[in-house]
Structure 1
Amino acid sequence: MIARSFAVRLAVCSLLASPLALAGAATVSTPGLAASEIKVVVNKQPITSYQIQQRAAFLKLRRAPGGSEAATNELIDEAVKRQEIARRRISIPDAAVDEAFGRFAKDNKLTEAQLTQVLSQAGFSAKGFKDYIRVQMGWGQAVLANVRQTERLSEQEVVQRMLQQGGAKPSTTEYTLQQVIFVVPNDKRASQLDRRMSEANSFRQRFTSCQGSYDTARGLRDVTVRDLGRVAEPELPPRWKDDVKNTSRGRATKPQATERGVELIGVCDTRTVSDDQVAAMVFQEKDLAAMGKKEPDKDYLAKLKDKATIVRR
């Protein structure tokens, strides 16, 4: 829950400022793609004049100052973030992006169609906004992963923290997990995803143990079952964390659409664990919650940009 709330905070803080920012959107013309030219290259990834004009319109809609220069800088940051998200193999499912888009429309007292129209009239697009949301969500997860890697507590620090708590060693839940993937090829996603989601829900209803899932999957087409082993609660992926925590032993999480198709996680077993490694993870999780108020993403982004090759034309 902590990791998810931290990632959500990073995503929400940079979305559109207020309902009023949408209300005053004016119609602007956009150039054809043929008139677009490359203005910046970030690690061989081009940023075009068309993208800059669209982002400038998005900034205006958000009532953010700076015009084309600010739009260019934001797109450079976004390119660096995208590349780091890809490097870490973080993938945000379409369903999560669509849900955030719909929630934003509702918060602004608009239907999704009305929000799409407002964005289009302002010179932006619903697809552009969804891409923006996806990057913000993925970046939040990348920041968390980076903090976990770089802010590990030493054995001495763990001992000191335990002494501060009267010598008590913290505990957490360890899950033995199994991954079930209903594979959907990318070129057949539009036609097969709903059917595969229905099949995954049926599988979930029949799921009673990880051992029995192999027999159940044997009669199904293009279904992969993988034992994930033991995973401590602080190490659960943000995408699955809440679902796993809310799933009883011997049951499976609700299916999610992912880049591989449709997936669910079986909770084979749970147990309470308490050792030095667990203590370090628990303390770090508390530190992450507190760090959410300090915006650690800025330092992380600055370091990535220092290493990047950014060429302005």
Structure 2
Amino acid sequence: MANGLWGRAVGALIAGLLLSMAAAMPTLAQSVRVTVNGTPITDVQISQRVKLFALEGNRGGTKGATEQLIDEAVQLSEAKRLGITVSNAQIDDAFLQIARNLKMSSDNLRQMLQQQAINSDTLKDRLRAAIAWNAVTEQAIMPQVQISDLELDQKAANQIEAYQGFDYILKEIIFVGQGSSGRTGQANKYRSSFAGCDTAVDLSLNFTDAAVVDVGRRHATQMPEAIAKELAGLNVGGITKPRVVESGVSMLAVCEKTQAEDLTFIKSDLRADAGNSAMAEKVTQYLADLRKRAKIIYN
């Protein structure tokens, strides 16, 4: 199984959970390398994590594996303080999801890990920490993330283009069927005779397989840039040039057009970006603060 495929499969499940603790393998002799808030991290755990890294294509090596295990121990300690628990069923479900991402069964995933001398508990312990930390994030960090509406309004206003400042009521005229060249010719003939939305349906009756659909109200930011720019140059009663679409050939007729600087749609994207950025920053700082307060002893 290629390293890249494995990395994508694990990443598809864990990305956004801020991964990170592995359990000891009691059948092997172990020595404690680090203790985090009383929780030991052994050489066996570290070596197992290094092997898991290798399977993923992660070159963090022993140092990276050790740091990740310390992070996970800190995360699990914080989850325990907040009363957060992770059930075996949750871990089994996560393990199964990784197997499905790799298009295999849980048993086959275990066998694949064993072939690389990796105990399946190594992956499961990492999943436990990831799920626990995600719960910590939702409970303790997410409420701290505040996005200023005023700031978003200012950013949105700076981003909006002149052609995006319109609100429309539209009708779509569709010439249904394949053979775009022939349909486009008929659509252009319709367009040259178009006299406004009130007679759009009557005009369509002169053509074969032509339909008029009420699109309703749309803001410019809800439409592809090319169409929004073309509509911005039209007055009420205007109609766009024919465009080939999946169902045939399409045109949009402008029934109403008003100036309306609706920033809702731009703000939605800005809010998501700002929220993700602020969340990532808060999570990083929260973990850094936890590490500073943690009792970490290197042996």
TM-score, normalized by length of structure 1?
Answer: 0.46
Could you state the TM-score of these two structures normalised by the residue count of structure 2? 0.48
